[in-house]
Amino acid sequence: MMITVQEAHTLIRQTLAPLGTEELPLDQIQGKVLAGDLAAPFSLPRFTNAAMDGFALQWNDISHATEELPVRLQLNQSIPAGTLSTLPVTSGCCAKIMTGAPLPEGADTVVAFEQTSGFGSDSVDIFKTPKYGANVRYCGEEVAEGEILFCKGELLSPSEIAVLASFGFASVVVHRMPKVAIVTVGDEVRMPGEEVSGAQIYNSNRFMLEAACRSLGIEPVGLHHASDDKVVLREALALALAECDVLVTAGGISSGEYDFVQQELSALGVTKKFWNVAQKPGKPLYFGATSEGKGVFSLPGNPVSALVCFVEYCIPALHLLQERDEIASFKAILAEPFPTDKKRHRFLSGKVWSEHGRLLCKVSPKVESHMITSLAGSNCLVEAAPSSVPLSAGSEVTCTMLPWAALS
Protein backbone atom coordinates (compact mmCIF):
# COMPACT_ATOMS: atom_id res chain seq x y z
CA MET A 1 0.00 0.00 0.00
CA MET A 2 1.34 3.43 -0.95
CA ILE A 3 1.35 6.07 1.80
CA THR A 4 1.78 9.83 1.79
CA VAL A 5 4.96 11.71 2.64
CA GLN A 6 3.46 12.92 5.92
CA GLU A 7 2.31 9.40 6.86
CA ALA A 8 5.85 8.14 6.24
CA HIS A 9 7.30 10.78 8.56
CA THR A 10 4.74 9.91 11.24
CA LEU A 11 5.56 6.19 11.11
CA ILE A 12 9.27 6.91 11.44
CA ARG A 13 8.72 9.14 14.47
CA GLN A 14 6.44 6.53 16.07
CA THR A 15 8.99 3.75 15.53
CA LEU A 16 12.35 5.24 16.53
CA ALA A 17 13.42 6.48 19.95
CA PRO A 18 16.45 8.48 21.16
CA LEU A 19 19.54 6.38 21.78
CA GLY A 20 20.40 7.65 25.23
CA THR A 21 23.37 9.59 26.55
CA GLU A 22 27.05 9.24 27.30
CA GLU A 23 29.69 11.37 28.99
CA LEU A 24 32.57 12.28 26.69
CA PRO A 25 35.72 14.40 26.97
CA LEU A 26 35.85 17.71 25.10
CA ASP A 27 37.97 16.32 22.27
CA GLN A 28 35.16 13.89 21.36
CA ILE A 29 32.04 16.08 21.45
CA GLN A 30 32.35 17.98 18.15
CA GLY A 31 29.02 17.69 16.30
CA LYS A 32 27.22 16.04 19.22
CA VAL A 33 24.11 17.26 21.03
CA LEU A 34 24.15 18.39 24.65
CA ALA A 35 21.94 16.22 26.86
CA GLY A 36 21.18 18.75 29.60
CA ASP A 37 21.47 22.40 30.58
CA LEU A 38 24.92 23.58 31.69
CA ALA A 39 25.36 26.47 34.12
CA ALA A 40 28.48 28.58 34.61
CA PRO A 41 30.41 27.29 37.67
CA PHE A 42 31.93 30.76 38.16
CA SER A 43 31.77 34.25 36.73
CA LEU A 44 33.57 35.18 33.53
CA PRO A 45 35.95 36.92 33.81
CA ARG A 46 36.63 35.19 37.12
CA PHE A 47 38.43 38.31 38.36
CA THR A 48 38.75 41.92 37.20
CA ASN A 49 41.76 42.15 34.87
CA ALA A 50 43.66 44.22 32.33
CA ALA A 51 42.48 44.17 28.72
CA MET A 52 45.92 45.08 27.37
CA ASP A 53 49.55 45.63 28.33
CA GLY A 54 50.10 48.96 30.10
CA PHE A 55 49.82 50.61 33.48
CA ALA A 56 47.13 50.17 36.12
CA LEU A 57 46.46 53.43 37.98
CA GLN A 58 43.92 55.77 39.51
CA TRP A 59 42.13 57.80 36.84
CA ASN A 60 42.00 60.92 39.03
CA ASP A 61 45.81 61.08 38.88
CA ILE A 62 45.84 61.44 35.08
CA SER A 63 42.52 63.17 34.35
CA HIS A 64 44.32 66.11 32.65
CA ALA A 65 47.27 64.34 31.05
CA THR A 66 48.28 65.47 27.53
CA GLU A 67 51.30 65.08 25.30
CA GLU A 68 52.28 68.67 26.13
CA LEU A 69 51.71 68.21 29.86
CA PRO A 70 52.17 64.53 30.71
CA VAL A 71 51.63 63.15 34.20
CA ARG A 72 54.51 61.25 35.80
CA LEU A 73 53.73 58.35 38.14
CA GLN A 74 56.01 56.13 40.18
CA LEU A 75 56.02 52.43 39.42
CA ASN A 76 55.46 50.34 42.54
CA GLN A 77 55.08 46.83 41.08
CA SER A 78 54.93 44.65 37.98
CA ILE A 79 52.03 42.20 37.49
CA PRO A 80 52.40 39.50 34.82
CA ALA A 81 49.44 37.38 33.73
CA GLY A 82 48.66 34.65 36.24
CA THR A 83 50.03 36.59 39.23
CA LEU A 84 48.04 38.21 42.03
CA SER A 85 49.09 41.69 43.18
CA THR A 86 50.25 42.03 46.79
CA LEU A 87 50.42 45.85 46.84
CA PRO A 88 47.61 48.37 46.38
CA VAL A 89 47.93 51.18 43.86
CA THR A 90 47.81 54.50 45.70
CA SER A 91 47.63 58.06 44.39
CA GLY A 92 50.79 59.02 42.50
CA CYS A 93 51.72 55.40 41.84
CA CYS A 94 50.97 52.84 39.15
CA ALA A 95 51.58 49.17 38.37
CA LYS A 96 53.03 47.75 35.17
CA ILE A 97 50.44 45.16 34.11
CA MET A 98 50.16 42.57 31.36
CA THR A 99 47.03 41.55 29.45
CA GLY A 100 44.86 39.25 31.55
CA ALA A 101 46.62 40.02 34.84
CA PRO A 102 44.37 40.77 37.85
CA LEU A 103 43.81 44.48 38.48
CA PRO A 104 45.48 45.50 41.76
CA GLU A 105 43.54 46.99 44.64
CA GLY A 106 43.09 50.76 44.27
CA ALA A 107 43.46 50.84 40.48
CA ASP A 108 40.46 51.69 38.31
CA THR A 109 41.91 52.27 34.84
CA VAL A 110 44.59 50.81 32.56
CA VAL A 111 46.54 53.05 30.17
CA ALA A 112 47.97 51.25 27.14
CA PHE A 113 51.77 51.37 27.08
CA GLU A 114 51.66 53.04 23.63
CA GLN A 115 50.16 56.12 25.31
CA THR A 116 53.03 56.35 27.80
CA SER A 117 56.80 56.69 27.91
CA GLY A 118 56.86 52.90 27.99
CA PHE A 119 58.43 50.21 30.09
CA GLY A 120 61.93 50.15 31.44
CA SER A 121 62.21 52.69 34.29
CA ASP A 122 60.97 53.30 37.82
CA SER A 123 58.56 55.97 36.65
CA VAL A 124 56.30 56.48 33.65
CA ASP A 125 54.90 59.51 31.84
CA ILE A 126 51.25 59.34 30.80
CA PHE A 127 50.60 61.27 27.57
CA LYS A 128 46.85 60.75 27.15
CA THR A 129 43.80 60.49 29.39
CA PRO A 130 41.58 57.53 28.50
CA LYS A 131 38.02 57.15 29.72
CA TYR A 132 37.51 56.18 33.32
CA GLY A 133 37.71 52.37 33.60
CA ALA A 134 39.37 52.02 30.19
CA ASN A 135 40.97 48.69 29.27
CA VAL A 136 39.52 46.92 32.30
CA ARG A 137 37.60 43.65 32.08
CA TYR A 138 35.28 43.46 35.09
CA CYS A 139 34.55 40.27 36.99
CA GLY A 140 31.34 38.68 35.66
CA GLU A 141 30.79 41.24 32.88
CA GLU A 142 30.51 38.45 30.29
CA VAL A 143 28.83 35.67 32.27
CA ALA A 144 27.51 35.64 35.84
CA GLU A 145 28.06 32.63 38.08
CA GLY A 146 25.09 30.25 37.72
CA GLU A 147 23.99 31.67 34.36
CA ILE A 148 22.93 29.01 31.83
CA LEU A 149 25.71 28.64 29.29
CA PHE A 150 24.02 26.16 26.96
CA CYS A 151 20.62 24.51 26.98
CA LYS A 152 19.74 20.89 26.37
CA GLY A 153 19.72 20.16 22.65
CA GLU A 154 22.55 22.55 21.77
CA LEU A 155 24.67 21.31 18.87
CA LEU A 156 28.29 21.47 19.98
CA SER A 157 30.67 23.17 17.56
CA PRO A 158 34.21 24.50 18.12
CA SER A 159 32.65 27.71 19.47
CA GLU A 160 30.70 25.95 22.22
CA ILE A 161 33.67 23.69 23.00
CA ALA A 162 35.86 26.76 23.49
CA VAL A 163 33.37 28.14 26.05
CA LEU A 164 33.18 24.81 27.87
CA ALA A 165 36.96 24.62 28.08
CA SER A 166 37.08 28.22 29.38
CA PHE A 167 34.89 27.15 32.28
CA GLY A 168 36.99 24.10 33.05
CA PHE A 169 34.59 21.41 31.85
CA ALA A 170 36.71 18.34 31.07
CA SER A 171 33.71 16.34 29.85
CA VAL A 172 29.97 16.75 29.27
CA VAL A 173 26.96 14.48 28.83
CA VAL A 174 25.77 14.28 25.22
CA HIS A 175 23.27 12.27 23.23
CA ARG A 176 24.87 9.24 21.68
CA MET A 177 25.68 9.62 18.00
CA PRO A 178 23.90 7.02 15.84
CA LYS A 179 26.03 4.30 14.32
CA VAL A 180 25.19 4.07 10.61
CA ALA A 181 26.02 1.24 8.24
CA ILE A 182 25.61 1.48 4.47
CA VAL A 183 24.97 -1.41 2.08
CA THR A 184 24.82 -0.89 -1.67
CA VAL A 185 23.38 -3.64 -3.86
CA GLY A 186 23.74 -4.78 -7.47
CA ASP A 187 25.66 -7.14 -9.74
CA GLU A 188 26.24 -4.33 -12.20
CA VAL A 189 28.03 -2.07 -9.75
CA ARG A 190 31.80 -1.58 -9.69
CA MET A 191 34.00 0.58 -7.47
CA PRO A 192 35.60 3.73 -8.87
CA GLY A 193 39.09 2.89 -10.07
CA GLU A 194 38.04 -0.51 -11.40
CA GLU A 195 37.49 -1.19 -15.08
CA VAL A 196 33.88 -1.26 -16.32
CA SER A 197 32.60 -3.00 -19.38
CA GLY A 198 29.30 -3.89 -20.98
CA ALA A 199 26.38 -2.78 -18.80
CA GLN A 200 28.42 -2.21 -15.65
CA ILE A 201 28.24 1.11 -13.78
CA TYR A 202 30.22 2.78 -11.01
CA ASN A 203 29.03 2.80 -7.40
CA SER A 204 28.14 6.45 -6.76
CA ASN A 205 25.57 5.73 -4.03
CA ARG A 206 28.11 4.43 -1.53
CA PHE A 207 30.29 7.53 -1.71
CA MET A 208 27.34 9.90 -1.86
CA LEU A 209 25.68 8.42 1.24
CA GLU A 210 28.99 8.12 3.07
CA ALA A 211 29.69 11.81 2.44
CA ALA A 212 26.14 12.75 3.43
CA CYS A 213 26.61 10.99 6.78
CA ARG A 214 29.90 12.76 7.36
CA SER A 215 28.24 16.11 6.69
CA LEU A 216 26.16 15.34 9.80
CA GLY A 217 29.23 14.48 11.85
CA ILE A 218 28.54 10.75 11.54
CA GLU A 219 31.33 8.42 10.44
CA PRO A 220 29.72 5.24 9.01
CA VAL A 221 30.70 2.17 11.00
CA GLY A 222 30.35 -0.18 8.04
CA LEU A 223 30.46 0.15 4.25
CA HIS A 224 29.40 -2.94 2.34
CA HIS A 225 28.41 -3.99 -1.16
CA ALA A 226 26.38 -7.08 -2.03
CA SER A 227 25.63 -8.75 -5.32
CA ASP A 228 22.13 -9.75 -6.38
CA ASP A 229 22.53 -13.11 -4.68
CA LYS A 230 20.25 -13.93 -1.74
CA VAL A 231 22.93 -15.62 0.35
CA VAL A 232 25.54 -12.91 -0.24
CA LEU A 233 22.96 -10.18 0.36
CA ARG A 234 21.70 -11.73 3.59
CA GLU A 235 25.26 -12.03 4.93
CA ALA A 236 25.99 -8.38 4.12
CA LEU A 237 22.75 -7.18 5.68
CA ALA A 238 23.28 -9.31 8.81
CA LEU A 239 26.81 -7.99 9.25
CA ALA A 240 25.67 -4.40 8.82
CA LEU A 241 22.74 -4.78 11.22
CA ALA A 242 25.04 -6.19 13.90
CA GLU A 243 27.25 -3.11 13.86
CA CYS A 244 24.78 -0.22 13.59
CA ASP A 245 21.82 1.65 15.02
CA VAL A 246 20.58 2.64 11.57
CA LEU A 247 21.05 0.65 8.38
CA VAL A 248 20.85 2.46 5.05
CA THR A 249 20.77 0.41 1.85
CA ALA A 250 20.63 1.55 -1.76
CA GLY A 251 19.33 -0.60 -4.61
CA GLY A 252 17.43 -3.87 -4.81
CA ILE A 253 14.26 -2.56 -3.13
CA SER A 254 11.89 -2.20 -6.09
CA SER A 255 9.76 -4.95 -7.68
CA GLY A 256 12.25 -6.42 -10.11
CA GLU A 257 13.15 -10.08 -10.45
CA TYR A 258 16.47 -9.54 -8.63
CA ASP A 259 15.26 -7.12 -5.97
CA PHE A 260 15.76 -9.23 -2.86
CA VAL A 261 16.46 -6.63 -0.15
CA GLN A 262 12.97 -6.54 1.36
CA GLN A 263 12.77 -10.35 1.42
CA GLU A 264 16.16 -10.74 3.09
CA LEU A 265 15.48 -8.04 5.65
CA SER A 266 12.33 -9.90 6.64
CA ALA A 267 14.35 -13.12 6.98
CA LEU A 268 16.67 -11.29 9.37
CA GLY A 269 13.78 -10.22 11.61
CA VAL A 270 13.24 -6.68 10.33
CA THR A 271 9.57 -5.63 10.50
CA LYS A 272 8.36 -3.56 7.58
CA LYS A 273 6.65 -0.31 8.57
CA PHE A 274 6.07 0.94 5.04
CA TRP A 275 7.13 0.45 1.43
CA ASN A 276 6.12 2.77 -1.40
CA VAL A 277 5.55 6.46 -0.76
CA ALA A 278 3.49 8.73 -3.01
CA GLN A 279 6.47 10.82 -4.04
CA LYS A 280 8.63 11.44 -7.07
CA PRO A 281 11.41 10.49 -7.09
CA GLY A 282 11.83 7.78 -4.46
CA LYS A 283 8.52 5.91 -4.59
CA PRO A 284 9.97 2.48 -3.64
CA LEU A 285 11.27 3.68 -0.26
CA TYR A 286 11.28 1.04 2.49
CA PHE A 287 11.42 1.64 6.23
CA GLY A 288 11.52 -1.06 8.87
CA ALA A 289 12.82 -1.80 12.33
CA THR A 290 14.29 -4.67 14.31
CA SER A 291 12.95 -5.85 17.65
CA GLU A 292 15.85 -3.95 19.30
CA GLY A 293 14.64 -0.70 17.73
CA LYS A 294 17.25 -0.41 14.97
CA GLY A 295 15.95 1.52 11.99
CA VAL A 296 16.35 0.33 8.40
CA PHE A 297 15.98 2.62 5.40
CA SER A 298 16.20 0.94 2.02
CA LEU A 299 16.55 3.59 -0.67
CA PRO A 300 16.02 3.23 -4.41
CA GLY A 301 19.11 2.59 -6.51
CA ASN A 302 18.80 5.70 -8.68
CA PRO A 303 21.20 8.17 -7.04
CA VAL A 304 18.89 11.20 -7.14
CA SER A 305 16.10 9.14 -5.58
CA ALA A 306 18.53 7.83 -2.95
CA LEU A 307 19.72 11.29 -1.98
CA VAL A 308 16.20 12.77 -1.88
CA CYS A 309 15.09 9.97 0.45
CA PHE A 310 18.19 10.33 2.62
CA VAL A 311 17.64 14.08 3.07
CA GLU A 312 13.88 13.87 3.51
CA TYR A 313 13.70 10.83 5.82
CA CYS A 314 17.08 9.56 7.04
CA ILE A 315 18.39 12.91 8.29
CA PRO A 316 15.27 13.66 10.40
CA ALA A 317 15.50 10.12 11.80
CA LEU A 318 19.17 10.53 12.70
CA HIS A 319 18.34 13.84 14.37
CA LEU A 320 15.49 12.22 16.30
CA LEU A 321 17.88 9.57 17.67
CA GLN A 322 20.05 12.38 19.06
CA GLU A 323 17.11 14.55 20.21
CA ARG A 324 18.46 17.11 17.77
CA ASP A 325 16.28 19.71 16.06
CA GLU A 326 15.23 18.88 12.54
CA ILE A 327 16.42 20.97 9.61
CA ALA A 328 13.74 23.62 9.25
CA SER A 329 12.07 24.03 5.86
CA PHE A 330 11.22 27.50 4.57
CA LYS A 331 9.32 29.24 1.80
CA ALA A 332 10.85 30.68 -1.36
CA ILE A 333 9.56 32.12 -4.63
CA LEU A 334 10.01 30.19 -7.86
CA ALA A 335 12.10 32.07 -10.40
CA GLU A 336 11.16 29.49 -13.05
CA PRO A 337 8.25 27.01 -13.42
CA PHE A 338 8.20 23.78 -11.37
CA PRO A 339 7.10 20.54 -13.14
CA THR A 340 4.62 18.99 -10.69
CA ASP A 341 3.21 15.44 -10.76
CA LYS A 342 -0.51 14.67 -10.88
CA LYS A 343 -0.50 12.03 -8.14
CA ARG A 344 2.76 12.26 -6.25
CA HIS A 345 4.53 14.75 -4.00
CA ARG A 346 7.42 16.10 -6.06
CA PHE A 347 10.98 16.70 -4.85
CA LEU A 348 13.59 18.29 -7.09
CA SER A 349 17.12 19.41 -6.38
CA GLY A 350 17.49 23.14 -6.81
CA LYS A 351 19.21 26.33 -5.83
CA VAL A 352 17.92 29.01 -3.47
CA TRP A 353 19.37 32.49 -3.13
CA SER A 354 18.61 35.86 -1.60
CA GLU A 355 17.80 38.78 -3.88
CA HIS A 356 16.49 42.19 -2.85
CA GLY A 357 15.34 40.84 0.51
CA ARG A 358 13.47 37.86 -0.96
CA LEU A 359 14.35 34.17 -1.19
CA LEU A 360 14.19 32.94 -4.77
CA CYS A 361 14.71 29.41 -6.03
CA LYS A 362 14.80 27.35 -9.19
CA VAL A 363 14.96 23.63 -9.80
CA SER A 364 17.48 21.70 -11.83
CA PRO A 365 16.51 21.37 -15.50
CA LYS A 366 17.48 17.69 -15.28
CA VAL A 367 14.51 16.19 -13.48
CA GLU A 368 14.85 12.43 -13.96
CA SER A 369 15.97 10.31 -11.02
CA HIS A 370 18.94 8.76 -12.84
CA MET A 371 20.41 12.17 -13.77
CA ILE A 372 23.04 12.44 -11.06
CA THR A 373 24.55 15.64 -12.45
CA SER A 374 21.36 17.45 -11.41
CA LEU A 375 22.70 17.28 -7.84
CA ALA A 376 25.89 19.19 -8.62
CA GLY A 377 25.61 22.83 -7.59
CA SER A 378 22.31 22.32 -5.76
CA ASN A 379 21.92 23.67 -2.25
CA CYS A 380 18.33 22.62 -1.46
CA LEU A 381 15.41 20.36 -2.17
CA VAL A 382 12.35 22.07 -3.62
CA GLU A 383 9.01 20.34 -3.13
CA ALA A 384 5.43 20.65 -4.28
CA ALA A 385 2.17 18.82 -3.59
CA PRO A 386 0.50 16.80 -6.39
CA SER A 387 -1.01 18.96 -9.08
CA SER A 388 -2.27 18.58 -12.63
CA VAL A 389 -0.63 21.83 -13.72
CA PRO A 390 2.98 23.03 -13.29
CA LEU A 391 3.66 25.73 -10.73
CA SER A 392 4.38 28.98 -12.49
CA ALA A 393 7.21 31.39 -11.81
CA GLY A 394 6.28 33.56 -8.84
CA SER A 395 4.62 30.70 -6.95
CA GLU A 396 5.63 30.05 -3.34
CA VAL A 397 7.18 26.66 -2.64
CA THR A 398 8.74 24.82 0.30
CA CYS A 399 12.52 24.35 0.35
CA THR A 400 14.89 22.42 2.60
CA MET A 401 18.57 23.30 2.69
CA LEU A 402 21.00 20.49 2.08
CA PRO A 403 23.03 20.28 5.31
CA TRP A 404 26.35 20.45 3.44
CA ALA A 405 25.36 23.47 1.31
CA ALA A 406 25.00 27.18 1.93
CA LEU A 407 22.64 29.92 0.76
CA SER A 408 23.87 31.47 -2.48
pLDDT digits (tens, 9 = 90+) for 11-67: 999 999 999 999 999 999 999 999 999 999 999 999 999 999 999 999 999 999 999
pTM above 0.75, yes or no: yes
Residue 402 is predicted with a pLDDT of: 95
* DSSP bridge partners of 249: 183, 298
**Residue ranges per structural domain of the chain:** 5-19+177-321, 22-41+154-175, 49-137, 330-401
pLDDT digits (tens, 9 = 90+) for 122-139: 999 999 999 999 999 999
- Three-class SS of residue 114? helix
Q: Which of 20-29, 216-225, 398-407 has the lowest mean pLDDT?
A: 398-407
Class of domain 330-401: mainly beta
Residue 158's φ and ψ, nearest 5 degrees, are: -55, -30
Residue 368 is predicted with a pLDDT of: 77
Residue 184 is predicted with a pLDDT of: 97
Q: Checking phi first, is residue 99 left (phi over 0); if not, alpha (psi -120 to 50) or beta?
A: beta
Give yes or no for residue 267 having a pLDDT over 90.
yes
Which overall architecture, per CATH, does domain 49-137 show? Answer: Beta Complex (2.170)
- Rounded Cα distance between 54 and 58, Å, is 13
The domain defined by 22-41+154-175 folds into Molybdopterin biosynthesis moea protein, domain 2 (3.90.105)
CATH number of this structure's domain 5-19+177-321: 3.40.980.10
Q: What is the Rg, in whole angstroms, of the alpha carbon atoms belonging to the chain?
A: 31
Q: Which of 202, 200, 301 is nearest to 248 (CA)?
A: 301
Dihedral sign, Cα of residue 47, residue 48, residue 51, residue 52:
negative
E strand intervals along 276-395: 279-280, 286-289, 295-299, 330-334, 345-355, 358-363, 380-384
- Rounded Cα distance between 165 and 168, Å, is 5
Q: Which residues contact 172 (CB under 8 A, 6 or more apart)?
A: 23, 24, 26, 29, 34, 35, 38, 156, 164
